[in-house]
Amino acid sequence: MRRSAESSPLLYVARLASPDIYKLSVVLILMSASLLLSFAFPLAMRYLIDVALARRDSAEVARVIVMLGAAYLTQVGMSYVANYLYVRAANEFVLRLRRSLFERILALRYEVAGGTGTGDLIARVMEDVGRIQTFYMSTSLRLITSVLSIVIALFLLIRMNVSLTVVASAAVPLQFLLYQVVARKAQALSRRVQHQVGKVTSWIAESIRGLMEIKVLTAERFARDRFRRLLAEHGNLKVTLHLVSCAASHGGTLLTSLAPLVVIWFGSLLIARGEFTIGTLVAFTTTVARLYSPIDGLAGLNLDLRIMVGAAERVMDLRENLLCEPDEPVFPRDQDQYALKWGDVQFDHVWFRYRDNTPFILRNLSFRIGQGEHIALVGDNGTGKTTVARLILGLLEPTQGEVLIGGQSVSQVPRDLLRRKITYISGEPYVFNATLRENLLIAKPDATDDELLDVLEAMNIEIGNGLCLDTVLAEGGVRLSAGQRQRISLARALLRAPEVLILDEATSSLDAPFERHLLRVIADRFRGKTVVFIAHRESTLEGAVRRVELSCCGEAEMDSARD
């Protein structure tokens, strides 16, 4: 597993946000100006009490009030613009991140995607990115404003009285120590919470996919009990995380509530000795409040930061560490470069296993399918027939040996081009939650309605009686029978008209008369093209002129061509 060039999740998130640097710079300038204006109030109060009110100058009081009002209006305007720009930048960041994660999922190697829980991947794209979004849109803004507030407040407090500033700052180290201790535990808890979210989401997705089996086997109680257990574990972790956060928050609030009392006490002593004015004490205590609030928030940010880091690590793992398909070969995208005999498929001493230290599924497999041949790939369950199909498609890579298409190694052919030329249909094809038209256009986006109707007619899918091209098919095609789903997938294949068609138990739910019709359609429309039948039913294999039989030891035996 390779590591990200930037091991720190914080640096990683910062790099992802780098395209927004200009907007963030404008936000920073506006927020700084807004904060400076917010500190006009304590200074104005000192002037009002010590100067204007002492002189009983009502005109001066009115002038100061008007200036304060203008300052507040300006501050609110700048703050609004800054927040608007910030939210825009944050939303663009999240959209960009989620798009890149989804593209990453689409690029995952087949075995990696299959070995990673669906719910876990969903949780990373939605839950974890949501936590990063919260940090980006709220926490990081508080971080910027808190630091600026602390700097300005300390500057003003030191100008008013150094010794009293030292007294006022005594609670700060205790706050940070408290939050530092709690933050370590919170980060570990947050990671466990997110992991549990993935488990819950995975079980929901698995239960929906297996709803038929759950109902048929009356396994509702099993499904409910497992969901309740997973949900209870998630809830307990969330409560623990909340309690830890509350302990830190309340402890910090207690410290910042007691500290101003000490400031007022010391300030009163200074006034009694004539070293301080009442106006200065009012300004000082008001400014201290503006110091403690961001310090309390800044200490709490450490907690939020640790939670965000846990989410960022999972996002970083998906983007940087989970293995994707190899990069496309660097070849000129010239059609002549790939003017291959796409139907000429050869396995050259291929060995394959899914992981190290596991048995080989294919052992020294060598056979060849000639251009335009219709062959049957047969063998007992577990002999690797589907694995052979996935190797041809480039979904898997041989552990040793090579798979060749037209004499060219599959690893050297761009994946998108390879899969436009080769179509694979499984016994359980997927139908998307879209219209019938959209489900067919996946195979050929520029197809006309006449072409769509032609392939539907070839597959005996009748338009009418509630079914038309714009009929929405439910997710997974749950409203369709297994045979209807298979016929729609076969219609896609006819529309795509690939050079190689692989049917992996693709007719298992079709009746015998339609299967015979299908074999005639394939013989007609795929004349001169390569077709691979993978099936156990002898009737399906009647369309093949030759058989390649895989043995339990992962080798192949071929019979001679037959008429």
Res 502: pLDDT: 94
pLDDT of 165 over the 90 cut: no
In a domain, 135, yes or no: yes
Q: According to the model, what pLDDT value does residue 4 have?
A: 44
CA atoms of 30 and 79, how far apart (whole Å): 7
- Does 308 share its domain with 392? no
Do 479 and 385 reside in the same domain of the chain? yes
Q: 319, 344, 371 — which closes off a domain?
A: 319
Average pLDDT (375-401) is 90
On whether both 427 and 538 belong to a single domain, the answer is: yes
Q: Check whether 330 has a pLDDT greater than 50.
A: no
Q: CATH number of the domain that 477 lies in?
A: 3.40.50.300
Assess contact for 308 and 133: CB atoms under 8 A.
no
Indicate the pLDDT class of residue 533, thresholds 50, 70 and 90. very high
2 in any annotated domain: no
Number of H helices, E strands in the chain: 20, 12
What is the predicted pLDDT for the residue at 542? Answer: 87
- Return contacts of 202-208, CB within 8 angstroms, 24+ apart: 202/117, 202/118, 202/119, 202/120, 203/119, 203/227, 203/230, 204/119, 205/118, 205/119, 205/122, 206/118, 206/119
210 belongs to a structural domain: yes
Whether residue 306 is found in the same domain as residue 421: no
Residues 353 and 395 reside in one and the same domain: yes
pLDDT digit string (tens) for 470-528? 888 865 556 778 888 899 999 999 999 999 999 999 888 888 899 999 999 999 999 99
**Residue 113 is assigned to a structural domain of this protein:** yes
**Does the pLDDT at position 274 exceed 50?**
yes
Verify that 421 and 485 share a domain, yes or no.
Answer: yes
Question: Which residues, including other chains, have CB under 8 Å from residue 259's CB and lie 6 or more apart?
Answer: 168, 170, 171, 288, 292
- Structural domain boundaries, residue 99: 9-319
Nearest to 391 by CA among 373, 371, 377: 377
Q: Which of 266, 290, 319 is the last residue of a domain?
A: 319
Of 562 and 426, the structure prediction assigns the larger pLDDT to 426
| CA 164 from centre of chain | 51
Q: With respect to residue 362, please indicate whether it lies within any of the assigned structural domains.
A: yes
- Whether 52 and 135 share a structural domain: yes
The winner for highest mean pLDDT among 44-53, 71-80, 140-149, 184-193 is: 71-80
Residue 21: CATH number of its domain: 1.20.1560.10
| pLDDT above 80 (res 351) | yes
Nearest to 511 by CA among 554, 555, 460, 468: 460
Q: What average pLDDT does range 22-46 have in this prediction?
A: 81
Q: Longest Cα pair distance anywhere in the chain, in angstroms?
A: 117
- State whether 450 and 362 are in the same domain: yes
Whole-angstrom distance, CA of residue 33 vs CA of residue 196: 43
pLDDT for residue 111: 66
Q: Does residue 348 register a pLDDT over 90? A: yes
DSSP annotation of 134 reads H
Quick: pLDDT tens for 107-122: 777 666 666 666 677 7
Statement to judge: residues 115 and 239 lie in one domain: yes
What confidence score (pLDDT) does residue 332 get?
Answer: 46
Closest CA to 484 of 503, 502, 459, 464: 459
Any domain includes 326: no
Predicted pLDDT at 1: 41
In a shared domain, residues 249 and 352: no
Instruction: Give the global pTM.
Output: 0.65
Provide the pLDDT for residue 114: 60
What whole-number distance in Å separates Cα of residue 429 and Cα of residue 451? 21
**Is the per-residue pLDDT at 427 higher than 80?**
yes
Q: Identify which of 467, 466, 465 has the alpha carbon closest to the alpha carbon of residue 488.
A: 467
Beta bridge partners of residue 379, listed in sequence order: 550
Same domain, 295 and 414: no
**Domain count of the fold of the chain:** 2
Q: pLDDT: is 480 or 541 the higher one?
A: 541
76 C-beta neighbours (distance < 10 Å), count: 12
Predicted confidence (pLDDT) at residue 323 exceeds the cutoff of 70: no
Average of per-residue pLDDT across 301-305: 69
Write out pLDDT tens, residues 65-107.
888 888 888 888 888 888 888 888 888 888 888 888 888 877 7
395 pLDDT higher than 60: yes
Q: Half-sphere exposure (CA, 13 Å, Cβ side) for 505?
A: 12
Instruction: Tell me the C-alpha to C-alpha distance, in Å, between residue 62 and each of 45, 68, 455.
Output: 13, 10, 84
Q: What percent of the chain has pLDDT over 70?
A: 86
**CB-based contacts of 279: which residues, under 8 Å, 6+ apart?**
45, 46, 47, 48, 49, 50, 51
The predicted pLDDT at position 369 comes to: 92
Contact present, 205 and 118 (Cβ < 8 Å): yes
What is the CB-side half-sphere exposure of residue 111 using CA atoms within 13 A?
A: 12
Q: Which of 319, 352, 373 is the last residue of a domain?
A: 319
Task: Work out the average pLDDT over 125-133.
Answer: 78
Q: Is residue 301 part of a domain?
A: yes
Residue 563 lies in a domain: no
Give the Cα separation of 384 and 377 in Å (integer). 10
Considering the domain architecture, whether residues 385 and 271 belong to the same structural domain is answered as: no
pLDDT of residue 331: 47
Q: Note whether 230 and 224 are within 8 A (CB).
A: no
What was the pLDDT predicted at 562? 52
Task: Decide the pairing of beta strands 345-352 and 400-405.
Answer: antiparallel
Is 376 in a helix, a strand, or coil? strand
DSSP alpha helices (H): ranges in 273-328? 278-316
